[in-house]
């Protein structure tokens, strides 16, 4: 049975920090993937609205927003694949 400070102090080990770092980076990657997907979908909405109104600058903005969202998605996926801590 643990007594005194042993009972209240959390135990941290170097072996568990790899799992913690992987969890944090995994959460960040998932967050960025969701953000990139939302950015891409909003770009599609902007593009559709510009097509309906025959708005040239809106078309350009929508296309570039879609391209930006796809770049965010690709970078998040690559980051998730490259950064793995053991």
**pLDDT of 21:** 81
SS3 helix, strand, coil % of the chain, rounded to 5?
A: 85, 0, 15
Alpha carbons 46 and 52: distance in angstroms, whole number: 10
Please give the helix or strand (H or E) that residue 9 lies within, else none. none
Q: Judging by beta carbons within 10 Å of its beta carbon (0-12, 13-18, 19+), is residue 69 exposed, middle or buried?
A: buried
The model's pTM is: 0.74
Which pLDDT does position 9 carry in this prediction? 57
The Cα 51–Cα 62 span in angstroms is: 10
**Sequence spans of domains, the chain:** 25-82
In what helix (H) or strand (E) does residue 49 lie, and over which residues does it extend?
A: helix 14-53
pLDDT, tens digit, 9 for 90 and up, residues 15-40? 667 688 888 888 999 999 999 999 99
């Amino acid at each position: 049975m643990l007594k005194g400070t042993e009972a209240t102090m959390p135990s941290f080990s170097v072996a568990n920090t790899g799992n913690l770092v992987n969890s944090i980076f995994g959460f960040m990657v998932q967050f960025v993937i969701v953000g990139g997907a939302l950015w891409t979908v909003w770009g599609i909405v902007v593009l559709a609205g510009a097509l309906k109104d025959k708005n040239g600058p809106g078309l350009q903005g929508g296309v570039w927003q879609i391209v930006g969202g796809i770049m965010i998605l690709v970078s998040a996926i690559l980051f998730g694949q490259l950064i793995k801590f053991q």
